[in-house]
Amino acid sequence: MSKVYLLGAGPGDPGLLTLRAREILAAADTVVYDYLASPGLLEHCRRDAELIYVGKKGGDHTMGQQDINALLVDKARSGRCVARLKGGDPYVFGRGAEEVEDLVAAGIDFEVVPGVTSAVAAPAYAGIPLTHRRYSSSVTFITGHEDPGKTESAHNWAALAQSASTLVFFMGVKNLDSITANLVQAGMEETTPAALVRWGTTCRQQTLTGTVADIAPAARAAGFKAPALLIVGQVVGLRDTLSWFEHKPLLGRGVVVTRAREQASSLLQLLQEHGACCYQFPTIAISALEDTGEVQEAVDRLGSYDWCIFTSVNGVRHFWSVLEAKGLDSRALGRAKVGAIGPATARALQDKGINPDVVPEKYVAESVISSLKEKGIAGNRVLIPRAEKAREILPRELIRAGAEVDVVPVYRTGLAEQNGEDILQAMNNGEIQYVTFTSSSTVENFFRLIPPEQLHPFVPDQVKLACIGPITARTLEGYGFSAHVQPAEYTVPALAQALVEDAG
């Protein structure tokens, strides 16, 4: 059904999108979006949705407002369901009303989904409540975009300066001098607290505080740039007690995640929770084998194994897809005991209804071997479904301990198709502080994509390297680097925690 939905994208933190907006994004045929909308939001869109970027960055409009309005009308007329995603709330200084006026004129059906405006969210993340019984009982949203050369201002500066209202100026960075001068000239106390919040609610949030008299020179001295909000009023002082977001230990730190895309989410989530700006750079591509003949044969003789040992989440996932393709389920494992090399693998098994019999204390092959030896593995038949290429130590040592071992490849890892340019550019801009490695293959593949000599100039002064465990660290040493961060326990949560401690 052709219709245009004007959606508020929220202020930047992708978690601040409304449920209604997400629902519509997931259904839309066409999504027309702006510069300020967080790129992460596009992940809610249908895979086959048509995505149109219409930009809007300072004065450099990729597409003029008239053309955007015409585009919405055209797309709706061609029978499409259109989501028009706009930063913050679409009706707060977003020209959303102009877009809808043209839809109405063209007789096109529409709906509006309000968003969390930056005017409310950015101060909240900066520890500034817009109202407080003691300090302010009203709020005014003001555009700071007015041409300072204009003789007749649209604003009643005297009313703004003398009210006890909290003032929130949008788009005010360029005109900071004239805005603050107007307020003081119109009678505002020079000591009135003021704050600038840049990139509010994102990992790049920065806040600068001062007074209405000194915030403009302070912003100039600090090189403070748009997009930012200027907040003026006594409530700004509450930030000293109510600040929280800016206490996040990794806020503003750029962290490169080199894990395969399918495996990255737990690390990404932990790092983002601590405020990090994550750069996804999957070095490994995981794929199913074209020929699953060998796995199928192993499945056919599953009943003959005493043990089945899984060394990764992918091993579990791909083994089960072969089971399921044969119309089987977890019961096919029958009497075989099950081992998992680490807690994530154990969880993947639990999702399949299997509670592993062995999860070693340390999450490396060496530790699995000693746990299994304790269980008396001699004379047992062991199946290890795993990646096509993997460390030989596990099967070798189990054979030495007297087991009969079948290693069966169930998936393949390869070099991901990646261009290292963006990461190197971000390093050049000083935006990256850590690169994380969660296996030897992430190290090896990273250096196939970004040669060691290109990384050298940044390490260790600007960029530190973090490894999940000793084997990964040793592989890194082979390339002439050492691991600056390495947790005592070889897990993803411990790695994230080690970064937090290092940054702190």
Q: Give the nearer residue to ligand SAH in terms of CB position, either 179 or 387.
A: 179
Q: At 337, which helix (H) or strand (E)?
A: strand 337-340
Give the up-direction half-sphere exposure of residue 258: CA atoms within 13 A in the CB hemisphere.
27
Exactly one of 13, 34, 86, 188 is catalytic; which is it?
Answer: 34
Read off the tokens for 26. 């997931």
The reply to whether 275 sits near ligand SAH by the rule CB under 6 A is no
Cα–Cα distance measured from residue 284 to residue 272, given in angstroms and rounded to the nearest whole number: 21
Q: Give the nearer residue to ligand SAH in terms of CB position, either 11 or 339.
A: 11
Rounded (10°) angle between helices 265-273 and 492-503: 30
The reply to whether 254 sits near ligand SAH by the rule CB under 6 A is no
Select from 4, 7, 11, 203 the one that contacts ligand SAH (CB under 6 A).
11
The reply to whether 251 sits near ligand SAH by the rule CB under 6 A is no
Q: Give the nearer residue to ligand SAH in terms of CB position, either 95 or 373.
A: 95
Q: Give the nearer residue to ligand SAH in terms of CB position, either 199 or 310.
A: 199
Cα–Cα distance measured from residue 76 to residue 108, given in angstroms and rounded to the nearest whole number: 7
Q: Which position has the token pair 């009210």?
A: 163
Contacts (Cβ under 8 Å, ≥6 apart) of 276: 203, 250, 251, 253, 254, 255, 499
> Which string of b and e fits 411-450 if b means at least 16 CB within 10 Å?
bbbeebebebeebbebbeeebbbbbbbbbbbbbbbbbebb
The reply to whether 87 sits near ligand SAH by the rule CB under 6 A is yes
174 is catalytic: no
Footprint on residues 106-165 left by ligand SAH (CB under 6 A): 117-119, 122
Cα–Cα distance measured from residue 205 to residue 203, given in angstroms and rounded to the nearest whole number: 6
Q: Greatest CA span in the chain, whole angstroms?
A: 93
**Closest residue to bound ligand SAH by CB:** 88
Exactly one of 13, 75, 171, 337 is catalytic; which is it?
Answer: 171
The reply to whether 224 sits near ligand SAH by the rule CB under 6 A is no
The reply to whether 200 sits near ligand SAH by the rule CB under 6 A is yes
The reply to whether 360 sits near ligand SAH by the rule CB under 6 A is no
Q: Mark the segment that binds ligand SAH (CB under 6 A) among 89-97, 178-186, 334-342, 407-415.
A: 89-97
Contacts (Cβ under 8 Å, ≥6 apart) of 106: 73, 76, 77
Q: At 321, which helix (H) or strand (E)?
A: helix 313-325
Exactly one of 13, 56, 337, 362 is catalytic; which is it?
Answer: 56
Q: Is 228 exposed, middle or buried (0-12, 13-18, 19+ CB in 10 A)?
A: buried
Q: Give the nearer residue to ligand SAH in terms of CB position, either 201 or 442.
A: 201
The reply to whether 309 sits near ligand SAH by the rule CB under 6 A is no
**Number of residues that this document lists for the chain:** 504
The reply to whether 94 sits near ligand SAH by the rule CB under 6 A is yes
75 is catalytic: no
Selection from 15, 40, 36 nearest residue 226 by Cα: 36
**Contact pattern from residue 47 through residue 86 relative to ligand SAH, giving x for each residue in contact according to CB under 6 A and a dash for the rest:** ----------------------------------------
Q: Mark the segment that binds ligand SAH (CB under 6 A) among 196-204, 286-294, 468-476, 481-489.
A: 196-204
Select from 229, 372, 394, 435 the one that contacts ligand SAH (CB under 6 A).
229
CA distances from residue 80 to 19, 48, 108, 321 in whole angstroms, order as listed: 22, 13, 11, 37
Select from 136, 178, 201, 433 the one that contacts ligand SAH (CB under 6 A).
201
Tell me, by CB under 6 A, how many residues bind ligand SAH: 24
- Known catalytic residues are 34, 56, 171
Residues in contact with ligand SAH by CB under 6 A are 11-12, 36, 87-89, 92-94, 117-119, 122, 170-171, 197-201, 226-229
